Amino acid sequence: MNQPIPYGRQHITDEDIAAVADVLRGPFLTQGPHIGAFESAFAKYIGCHYAVAVANGTAALHLCCMALGVTEGTRVITTPITFSASANCVRYCGGEVFFADVDPATALLDIHAVRALLEQHPKGYFSGIIPVDFAGYPVDMAAFRELADEYDLWLLEDSCHSPGGSFTDSQGVAHRCGDGSLADLAIFSFHPVKHIAAGEGGMITSNDEALYKHLLRLRTHGITNKPAEFTEPYPGEPERGGWYMELQELGYNYRLTDMQAALGNSQLTRVDAMLARRQEIARRYDDAFAGTAVDIIVPPTDVVHAYHLYVIQIDDRKGLYDFLRTRNIMAQVHYIPVHLMPYYQQFGWKPGDFPNAERYYARCLSLPMFPTLTDDEQAYVIESVKEFVGA
Ligand SMILES: *Cc1c(COP(=O)(O)O)cnc(C)c1O
């Protein structure tokens, strides 16, 4: 293969380009009609009541932490196997990040480890949990909801990897990631390697009207222009006119542009086909690596895995990574455990704290996984991996 094969890549069609060009010819470059259209279409796709479009997934996490009341000293639990933004959002608000180990069978936050951590402290010590649908494997949010209710915690689902993914609860009911039925809030990213590319972009989903209204205000500086939300006029205040608005709290400018919303909305029309292709690629990898020295995670049939990543585990990970580079295959590592990042080690986290996460990190490698990966390219990736392991 002459062209390098990346681990992920966006797919932009002529329709996508036309949608963006239309915006550029129109009157609104930001906060125009495409924002609302994208929010409604995304909410419909996910199956939730409300969606708030924001500048990126990290901004989405930050605003969610603000809306959930994270402040100086608030303690929040998340997984070490995630992109660091899942933890950083707590720090932006001055909160304290706690980690619990992952389940080796899924690489997801282990609910038993979370329960053990909760039991070590009095009730009220922790405020919330941020589970992550890592790689696209949906967390069992019903089990986390039960645990959260027992300890009076909120749940913020980081669904950046899992739009379209779902799991089935013990009652046999399927829940799509971020559908608002279990987690208080969920967030998505439209970074180009994710399922929907908007350049940069993010979305918050929820069924909670109060949180929704608060997030709309936080997204745009903390300003409201809705008369129903205004404070009482002060004595002698000049009469309020159409210009009137109020800064009610300290928010941010985390808005999405109309160009990005139009691109995201255009991509959303193909999201089912793109997810189906990701799943097809995953099945082919699964079949190829079954019975070899390459370890894979295959979800049960009642779980719809969204396959943002296809991660294999292998003892000589560095060897395979380097070998694939010589073949122009740009595999990647997801993730270096967040608790081992120098920034987090300053809070006392250290090697050995989370053995499952650290063992996973030592052996994991993400193979190319994106809808436009061709059958030939995938065959070449499979053949190269098999040659390395001698299968
Ligand atoms: C990509 C990602 C984010 C951050 O999203 P951005 O849009 O890049 O800010 C957060 N969490 C996870 C798990 C991600 O993969």
Sort strands 223-224 and 246-247 into parallel, antiparallel or unpaired: antiparallel
**Ligand 1 neighbourhood includes 191 CB (under 6 angstroms):** yes
Asked if residue 49 and residue 163 are part of one domain, the reply reads yes
CA separation, residue 233 to residues 2, 221, 222 (Å): 68, 21, 19
Is the shortest distance between the CB of 82 and ligand 1 below 6 Å? yes
Supply the CATH number for residue 286's domain: 3.90.1150.10
Q: Which two tokens stand for residue 312?
A: 């294999």
The answer to whether 144 and 131 are in contact (CB under 8 A) is yes
In contact, 342 and 336? CB cutoff 8 Å: no
Span 33-85, pLDDT tens digits: 999 999 999 999 999 999 999 999 999 999 999 999 999 999 999 999 999 99
Last residue of a domain, one of 220, 249, 268: 268
| Residue to mutate (ligand 1; options 62, 97, 185, 191; most atoms within 8 A of CB) | 191
Query: Which atom of ligand 1 lies at the shortest distance from residue 86's CA?
Result: 11
What positions carry a catalytic annotation? 194
What pLDDT shows up at residue 361? 98
Furthest-apart CA atoms within the chain: distance in Å: 84
Task: Name the domain count of the chain.
Answer: 2
Annotate the chain with three-state secondary structure.
CCCCECCCCCCCCHHHHHHHHHHHHCCCCECCHHHHHHHHHHHHHHCCCEEEEECCHHHHHHHHHHHCCCCCCCEEEECCCCCCHHHHHHHHCCCEEEECCECCCCCCECHHHHHHHHHCCCCCCCCEEECECHHHCCCCHHHHHHHHHHCCCEEEEECCCCCCCEEECCCCCEEECCCCCCCCEEEEECCCCCCCCCCCCEEEEECCHHHHHHHHHHHECCEECCHHHCCCCCCCCCCCCCCCCEECCCCCECCCEHHHHHHHHHHHCCHHHHHHHHHHHHHHHHHHHCCCCCEECCCCCCCECCCCCEEEECCCHHHHHHHHHHCCECCECCCCCHHHCHHHHCCCCCCCCCHHHHHHHHHEEEECCCCCCCHHHHHHHHHHHHHHHCC
Are 15 and 58 part of one and the same domain?
A: yes
Atom of ligand 1 nearest to the CA of 201: 7
Query: Would you state the pLDDT for residue 112?
Result: 98
Question: CA–CA separation, 136 vs 139, rounded Å?
Answer: 9
In one letter, which amino acid is 71?
T
> Which domain-ending residue is among 268, 300, 325?
268
pLDDT of residue 1: 65
Neighbours of 391 (CB within 10 A): 13
Q: Do 186 and 264 fall into the same domain?
A: yes
Residue at a domain's end among 215, 237, 268? 268
224 lines ligand 1 (CB under 6 A): no
Q: Are residues 36 and 151 in the same domain?
A: yes
Q: Which domain holds residue 135?
A: 5-268
- Would you say the CB of residue 158 lies under 6 angstroms from ligand 1? yes
Residues 250 and 314 in one domain: no
Rounded distance, CA 327 to CA 331, Å?
11
Rounded-to-integer distance, Cα 55 and Cα 264, Å: 12
Whether residue 202 is found in the same domain as residue 296: no
Question: Do 171 and 275 share a domain, yes or no?
Answer: no
User: What is the CA 302 to chain-centroid distance, rounded?
Assistant: 21
pLDDT tens for each residue of 269-297: 999 999 999 999 999 999 999 999 999 99
Which regions of the chain are under pLDDT 50?
none
Could you tell me the CATH number of the domain that includes residue 128?
A: 3.40.640.10
Structure tokens at 299: 């979800």
The pLDDT of residue 2: 73
Q: Looking at residue 11, what is its pLDDT?
A: 95
Whether 55 contacts 255, CB under 8 Å: yes
Assess whether 44 and 188 both reside in one domain. yes
If asked whether residues 74 and 180 sit together in one domain, one would say: yes
Residues 210 and 253 in one domain: yes
Backbone angles phi, psi at 277, to 5 degrees: -70, -40
**Calpha distance 236→80 (Å, rounded):** 56
Protein residue whose Cα sits closest to atom 6 of ligand 1: 57
